[in-house]
Amino acid sequence: MRESLFRGPDYSPGTLGSPSFMRGSEAPPFRVRFQEFRRSAKSRDKFSITYEIALLEQGPRKSLVNRCIFVLYSPLDATCPERIFLAIFALFGLVKATEFALDRWPGNRPQPRKGEISQTNDLLTDHQQMPVQVNCPFDALVLLAVGQSSAANEGQGLAIANPEVVNFYHGNCYVARDPLLGATGAGASFLTRIDIGRPLIIVPLAVSGSRMAEWQSILYDRVALAKRELEDAGLAVDATIVVQGENEGQRNRSAKSYQAAATDFYRELPRRVYVGLASRCGDDPPNQAIRSAQVAAAKATGAEIGPDIDTLDKQFHRCHLDDAGVSAYAAMWSKVLSAI
């Protein structure tokens, strides 16, 4: 696999320079990633090119993972006219994908009124727009949290953490209150309610609806960036928790593929790693194949099994925890983390 990353000059807005990308307001900084894969396919080789448009974050605001993927397959032995046609087609797809991504930038959408909690991941609450910065406690346990919506801000019942818990985001610490900075969603997070009896720095990175294959690849950049920012602030990760699996579980994805991706991902995470079992939504039964894959990947990488969210009622918006469930899940993790 070959990969090259193209960035706008100094991440300046509107790098592509086309008015059609502006959508009536200033476009955000962005980057375009090109990935080329080559593989053998029976009679002749093929290659695919993936374009990723990722909006770059600015300031103390919610982490964004709005991205568009455009994939082009072409025979390596294509004729010159075929290559020209495919190049034009690829350019058209790249333009449309970029327009779509920039159109989802929160700055181009109306902001919620004070006290209003949006049910989308695109709007920012007042807290996320104007968070309260505090000093980072250097004697604290530093906790990285990755995964999908169960580890993001998608629960019911907003809360403010106790004073010993702070929210690390892009090099600074802020008052920890729902919705947390760094994860998607505008609701509650169990991380806010964790209490281990001593200072705690939480680093939320979860992305609602994300798959394990994405964390193993394009979303790992979030982990790498957080590690660098913590190091620059004189901090280091003490523990990482992973709560992910509902996406694959409710869609009956391949457990073998899940285990392979999870094994690679867990191995790259800062130690110690705790894997929270997660595979179901609503009234669906737990997906035993995905759960077994999580256990196997944890065993292969030395990760520990954490609380089982499949044992809790997840009826809020069908796949998320209600207020009582958020508190119960936080209590489970508090017990585990207190032992570190």
Which pTM was predicted? 0.66
Residue 154 counted as domain residue: yes
Q: What are phi and psi of 46, to 5 degrees?
A: -135, 160
Q: Which of 108, 134, 167 is the last residue of a domain?
A: 108
Residue range(s) defining the domain that contains residue 94? 2-108
Asked whether 53 and 170 are in contact (CB, 8 A), the reply is no
Residue 76 counted as domain residue: yes
CB atoms closer than 10 angstroms to residue 329:
27
Residues 139 and 230 placed together within one structural domain of the fold: yes
CB atoms closer than 10 angstroms to residue 338:
13
- CA gap 7, 165 in Å, rounded: 35
Span 290-316, pLDDT tens digits = 999 999 999 999 999 999 999 998 777
Residue 335: its H or E element: helix 323-338
Span 83-120, pLDDT tens digits = 777 778 777 777 766 665 554 443 443 333 333 333 33
Looking at residue 314, its pLDDT comes to 75
Residue 113 counted as domain residue: no
Residue 160 counted as domain residue: yes
Span 180-199, pLDDT tens digits = 999 999 899 999 999 999 99
Looking at residue 108, its pLDDT comes to 41
Residue 268 counted as domain residue: yes
Residues 67 and 209 placed together within one structural domain of the fold: no
Residues 214 and 66 placed together within one structural domain of the fold: no
Least confident of 32-46, 159-173, 175-189, 218-232: 32-46
Looking at residue 97, its pLDDT comes to 64
Residues 98 and 130 placed together within one structural domain of the fold: no
User: Which residues 6+ apart lie within 8 Å of 233 measured at CB?
Assistant: 136, 168, 171, 172
Question: Strand 239-243's sheet: what is its strand order?
Answer: 133-134, 172-175, 165-169, 200-204, 141-147, 239-243, 273-277, 304-308
pLDDT-based confidence at 153, cuts 50/70/90?
very high
Residues 91 and 136 placed together within one structural domain of the fold: no
Better-predicted residue by pLDDT, 89 or 18? 89
Q: What's the mean per-residue pLDDT of the chain?
A: 75
CB atoms closer than 10 angstroms to residue 332:
18
Q: How many domains does the chain have?
A: 2
Looking at residue 151, its pLDDT comes to 96
Residue 20: its H or E element: none
